[in-house]
Amino acid sequence: MFTKPLSSDLPSTIDEAVRILLDDLRLRDRTQLGSMTAEDLNLINKVVGLQITWDFRLWSGNGLLLHACLNAMEDTGKEYADPTMAIVHSMWKKLQETHVLRLVK
């Protein structure tokens, strides 16, 4: 997923993780992700969730980010869901605001 190795400074919040991921995405990919439906996010999470887990060390030393993800999932009533879904969903919400193509008249 990442073209460069992550520094030793791992993200401790969902917003930091989203910023890192968005910095790595091309404009085309940002626009495509922003145009997806909420239902499509499960597929996206299946594709990139494991890589996010490894890159951000969710299960192996990044307790702050893991805790933030679990809290976010609990707040939505989906505490059984994969913690990476909190990151994917947050990234999608941000792209909904900034990268959705709109018809201009």
Q: Is the pTM of this model over 0.85?
A: no
When pLDDT is averaged across residues 58-69 and rounded to a whole number, the result is 94
Are 16 and 69 a contacting pair, CB within 8 Å?
A: no
Roughly how many angstroms between the first and final C-alpha of the chain, as a whole number? 37
Tell whether the torsion through CA atoms of 6, 12, 14 and 19 is positive or negative: negative
Domain boundaries, the chain: 14-98
pLDDT tens-digit map of 11-61: 999 999 999 999 999 999 999 999 999 889 999 999 999 999 999 999 998
Are 64 and 13 a contacting pair, CB within 8 Å?
A: yes
Are 54 and 6 a contacting pair, CB within 8 Å?
A: no
pLDDT exceeds cutoff 80 at 7: no
pLDDT at 68: 95
What percent of the chain stands above pLDDT 90? 67
